[in-house]
Structure 1
């Protein structure tokens, strides 16, 4: 007769439930760690009216509905615009430009200004648009 009343001794241990528990705990830990980082609320300081010393000054070029070109609200011709932008590029090679064109302006005027910016190798150009419905 076998000792132990005919029962067979366990030779292996089933670790599947323990691994399932470990994976669930790992997922909970990851979710809680990322939620605590993203959920931090801070009262950010307010910037004064002083200009930032690290951000370069953006130049705004505007073309109104009659085709007149403005550089920072001052009327300029295309030749004067080129001269002023060359001077600004000499001071700051990474000069950012914002181009605003009236919706009724001739497309050719906008293309002339964009071509001028390409010739001067000014690559940081943003085109300003309005929000739909305005």
Structure 2
């Protein structure tokens, strides 16, 4: 009996490993492009190198869960808040307001304080806290 050791050249190329590599590269490309698109671009103010020597009045308005508003820790109504902020602005035109809204407070109360500050043309900022602090 004779064994034939006949080696024929391959007529076709196995492209399965090449397609596997192409699919992996496609998945990596899709993941990288969607990860870069999801972020928001925010232009943050740059700090100045010189410390500010000006001292201006700062009022802290807290909106509590029940709708109660506190001005520097003292409960006030919306009318009292408006008059207190107007008096403070008359004393110091560059005074500002920091608004602290409790997470359980109704958003409408926070918007009321923001509208009041806009009406009186008082600079304001929203106080936030990081999760876990």
Secondary structure at 2:79 match in 1: helix
Alignment of 1:90-129 (within 5 A): 90-122=90-122, 124-129=123-128
Q: CA RMSD in A?
A: 1.6
| 2:57 match | 57
Question: Structure 2: where are the runs of 5+ without partners?
Answer: 1-51
Extract structure 1 runs of 4+ deviating beyond 2 A.
none
Give the TM-score normalised by the residue count of structure 1: 0.58
- Give the drift of 1:54: 3.0
Question: Structure 1: where are the runs of 5+ without partners?
Answer: 1-51
Alignment of 1:15-54 (within 5 A): 54=54
- Give the drift of 1:76: 0.3
Give the TM-score normalised by the residue count of structure 2: 0.58
Size of the alignment, in residue pairs?
Answer: 82
CA distance in 2, matches of 1:57, 1:112: 21
